[in-house]
Structure 1
Amino acid sequence: MKTLDNVKHPLGSEWSFWLFTNQKKNWADNLVKLATFDTVEDYWCLYHHMKVPSELNLGQEYLVFKKGIQPQWEDPANQSGGRWLIILDGEKAAHVDAIWLDTVLVLIGETFEHVDDVCGVVCNIRAKHRIAVWMRNCKAKAVCEVGKKLREHIPIKMQYYRHNQTKALFTI
């Protein structure tokens, strides 16, 4: 009799987990690819064996991006896009680990229409922690649909910005 014990649950995309070390002068030299995963079980294995974001040093970052997309604005997949930005200060900062987990699960679960427009997610550990969901473009339909899906799971104000711009295009 066959058992299902060894069956893994595939994700819709393959993802890479990165760490920004903040130890070198050249920004790109700080990026370290930690692992790549494409199943639910492989993600949870990584999650349970890594530090949570609040255990990182100030200035470090976790990044989870679709395989083949570099977590840099200069990557062709990111050049025309922007990001949903969640700023966690004060009391909300204490919940950075839970918000990070929820955000990653929403993205890798790909339970929304515009999954191809999502590139990845970054968690910046700063005085005010930030979580940013990076998108391929700034098309209103895709951006708003992803923003609404995020908001269903993360009930915190978030704003959408083009990369390298300070004026929000959307707020939810």
Structure 2
Amino acid sequence: MSNPRILGTDLEPVAEDGSGKIPATRKTLHQNILGKLRPLPFQYHWAVWYEKHSESTNYDEKLYLLHEDVADIGTFYRVYNNYPWDKVKLRDTVHIFRKGTKPVWEDPENLKGGCWTFRVPKAKSQAFFHEIAILCMANEFQAALEAEHDHVIGVSTSVRFNSHLISIWNKSGSNTKAIKALEDTVLQRLSPDLRPSSSRSYFYKRHDEHEGYKAAVEAKVNPTNSDESK
């Protein structure tokens, strides 16, 4: 995985090669969004989680809270720029979620939700996740869903062998208008060099369509029965 971009004192992104040159389109995106955020805190507070890959259904054993309150852009970059992204292991996941919501299907905010998932080549994965995270926390995604009465819950990046699975979670997995609005916003707001080259590289899936969803929810509702079945 490539290292995250280093930010200068004015929060402008700097190229990893030290040249100081970045694509004009991406610079414009950052200037527009960061210009809005610099004077004010985020509308919502966010938390950063780390999920270790495991066959266990007990999230207390594999889900770790890394930072419980990301309230503004400065805090985000203090966390983001100091995180050892190159040390994230295969099939492990980093989540940025609204504070108070766990990045699991069985959380009350996620029970009826779903997510867009993008398979991103490893060379572009860090830049892709960086922009997705900014668009999420800057309320760009939420603004697109306001008219459809839906909510963006968080974003995730999961390491695979030669790619990353980067997901955007929303609250209503049956709200087709909101789902389409979220897709359109991603495709329109991402820097051109990061946009998916094919619609086959991303998909939407409701959480309840996953094989382990029912068992995870039942274990949450009846934890005693789940323990006895082990």
Q: TM-score under structure 2 normalisation?
A: 0.62
Deviations 1:71-125 (A, max 9, x none): 000011111111001012xxx2211111110111110011223265111111111
Q: Which has the higher strand share?
A: 1
Query: How many percent of aligned residue pairs carry the same amino acid?
Result: 22
**Alignment match, 1:60:** 92
Range with bigger deviation, 23-32 or 61-70: 23-32
Q: Which runs of 5+ in 1 are unaligned?
A: 1-6, 167-172
Matched, 1:96 2:140: no
- Deviation (angstroms), 1:24: 8.1
> Aligned partners of 1:165 and 1:86: how far apart in 2?
17
CA contact (8 A) 2:144 2:185 kept: no
Pair 1:98–1:55, CA change in 2 (3 A): farther
SS of the residue corresponding to residue 72 of structure 1 reads coil
**Alignment match, 2:33:** none
CA contact (8 A) 2:112 2:208 kept: no
2:176 to 137, 140, 143: 140
- Deviation (angstroms), 1:55: 3.4
Q: Which runs of 5+ in 2 are unaligned?
A: 1-37, 211-230
Pair 1:104–1:55, CA change in 2 (3 A): same
Matched pairs, number: 156
Matched, 1:38 2:78: no
Q: Which has the higher helix share?
A: 2
> Aligned partners of 2:179 and 2:55: how far apart in 1?
33
CA contact (8 A) 1:119 1:136 kept: yes
SS of the residue corresponding to residue 144 of structure 2 reads coil
Q: Larger Rg: 1 or 2?
A: 2
Matched, 1:130 2:165: yes
Please give the root-mean-square deviation of Cα atoms over the aligned residues, in Å.
2.0
Range with bigger deviation, 63-72 or 149-158: 149-158
**Alignment match, 1:19:** 50
